[in-house]
Amino acid sequence: MVQQLSLVSTIGKPEFSLVVNTLIALTGQKPKILANENILFKPIINLKYVQNQQQINNSIHLNLVEQSLIRVRTKWHITGANHKGDSTEPQQRKQKIRQKKEKNQNLVVNDILANDNAAFMKQIESLQINLPAASSTILNNNNSNAPEVPQTEEFSFQISDIPAAGKRKVSSQTIYEVNICQSRSQLYGYLKELGYIEHQRYAVKGLSFIYNGTINIEIFQIFAIQEEKSASNDGDGKNREETNTNVKLRIVDELENWFLKIYSNVAKITDIGLINKATADLVAVQKELSDLIMLKIPERNCMDSRIDDNI
């Protein structure tokens, strides 16, 4: 559990390069790739909806436990060339893999800096960034023999409280988080046993910086993850019953704006000293960038992960 203090802003596409160069000058470092997939899971049974229906039909007033969306996040993995069968020495092979990975990461950073989504999407395909199919493909609810995804990934489970109310300099939100390593089908199966199913799926790509060792700065765009299914062809012009699933990304903001978030995580919510220091650091960055970016407290209702009766 952490207490996350944050400020946010929106950046137009034309201002992107100027903002990034300013952040490079401010932090004194090259940006790192920010690329991850996010899956929101909702309860199979919406207790609030059930409660409302019972109140309407029977005038029964219940006091049920609040339910929340679970956000599961995993990083995209940028892979290099296939080095199987490489006859070079192990140390040389490791160096080749590392150099290839660094080159690929630099290519992705360059495409992001170029503010060119078409080039970035092409880079995703060529670098084989991990973007598996959704639960409908991985874990068929009506088929207990659903295919197993062999690779194990690290997933971050996250449930967050609504940010604290009141007049504040920065947003303050409690976040409960745990990391686990599972295959993707195990993940969906585990959450199904808990009574949760997939609700929404989106991807984030952008750049990240660290300022003064404690302030995280992220500039990113959000993409909806969509699946396109196509029938397989048997070579005789006839379509087989099996279908191939292609995963595509669609940018959410049609204007291709960028979102900027600066935040600091405080491990103990009772540590007033650290919270005050993190608040002061965020306000200092806000002031430093005030001529270029208007950083503000996000709307707290938009950050509320609690379930209402229409989800």
- Region at 111 (left for phi over 0; alpha for psi -120 to 50; beta for the rest): alpha
* Token pair for 145: 């023999």
> How confident is the model at residue 64, as a pLDDT?
60
Phi and psi dihedrals of 290, rounded to 5? -60, -30
Region 235-245 average pLDDT: 57
pLDDT at 132 over 60: no
Residue 45 or 101, more confident: 45
Torsion angles phi and psi, residue 262, rounded to 5: -120, 135
Region 254-279: what's the mean pLDDT?
93
Q: Could you tell me what percentage of the chain is helix, strand and coil, using 3-state DSSP and rounding each to the nearest 5? A: 30, 35, 35
**Percent above pLDDT 70 for the chain:** 63
Mean pLDDT of all residues in the chain?
78
33-47, 49-63, 119-133, 267-281: lowest mean pLDDT where? 119-133
pLDDT for 265 beyond 60: yes
DSSP 251-301: ESSTT--EEEEEEEEES-TT-HHHHHHHHHHHHHHHHHTTTT---BPPPGG
pLDDT for the residue 283:
97
Helix (H) or strand (E) holding 304: none
**190 within 8 A of 27, measured Cβ to Cβ:** no
- 77 phi and psi angles, rounded to 5 deg: -110, 115
- Give me the phi and psi of 307, to 5 degrees please: -80, 135
pLDDT for the residue 93: 55
pLDDT value of position 248: 76
Residue 246 vs residue 293, higher pLDDT: 293
Q: Can you read off the two tokens belonging to residue 263? A: 């935040």
Task: Name residues whose C-beta falls within 8 Å of residue 249's C-beta, 6 or more positions apart in sequence.
Answer: 121, 124, 131, 203, 223, 224, 225, 226
* Domains, the chain, ordered by start: 2-77+130-234+242-303 (2.40.320.10)
Of 99-103, 129-133, 230-234, which range is least confident?
129-133
The secondary structure of 50-109 as a DSSP string is: HHHHHHHHH-----PPP-B-EEEEEE--------TT--S-HHHHHHHHHHHHHHHHHHHH
- The pTM of the full predicted model, rounded to 2 decimals, is 0.76
Q: Rounded to whole angstroms, how far apart are CA atoms 67 and 122? A: 39
